[in-house]
Amino acid sequence: MNDHADDLPRKSRPERGPYRSPALSPADVATIAALEEDRWKCHCGNIPHSDGFAPANRRGREVEPTPDQWPEPLYVCNRCGLVMDAATVNLTTHTVAVVGRILL
């Protein structure tokens, strides 16, 4: 029998460092106000001309608004971390759906 530690399977380590993507967590709100198609008011009070909103991916990470990096129109609130899906803007109810939250 071989008792060498080098022969044992190694466990993978979680990714560390500044490039780790935040995880998208459930949010405590379902929608935020959509005053117009591109003018939202977040649950935290943020508006586009204040802290604003940035294009994001499904992990909540800010991305460039290119087809490769941004396949679906998600935005993250730069103040509280809520992530919204711009494809769900409803101008009848003046809402846009929240799909999750990242911790800032």
Mean pLDDT value across residues 89-98: 98
Q: Are 39 and 67 in contact (CB under 8 A)?
A: no
Structural domains counted in the chain: 1
Token digits of residue 93:
């109810």
Q: Is residue 64 part of a domain?
A: yes
Hey, CA dihedral for 50, 21, 75, 44, is it positive or negative? negative
What was the pLDDT predicted at 56? 95
Pick the closest to residue 44 from 59, 29, 54 (CA basis). Answer: 29
Q: Is residue 52 part of a domain?
A: yes
Q: Is residue 56 part of a domain?
A: yes
The answer on pLDDT for 3 being more than 80 is no
List pLDDT tens digits, range 9-64. Answer: 444 334 434 445 567 899 999 999 999 999 999 999 999 999 999 999 988 889 99
Q: Is residue 75 part of a domain?
A: yes
3-state secondary structure of 56: strand
DSSP 25: B
Q: Is residue 17 part of a domain?
A: no
Q: Is residue 68 part of a domain?
A: yes
* Residue range(s) defining the domain that contains residue 44: 22-101
3-state secondary structure of 7: helix
Q: Is residue 90 part of a domain?
A: yes
What was the pLDDT predicted at 8? 42
Q: Is residue 6 part of a domain?
A: no
Cα-based torsion angle of the residue sequence 87, 64, 42, 80 in order, rounded to the nearest 10 degrees: 140
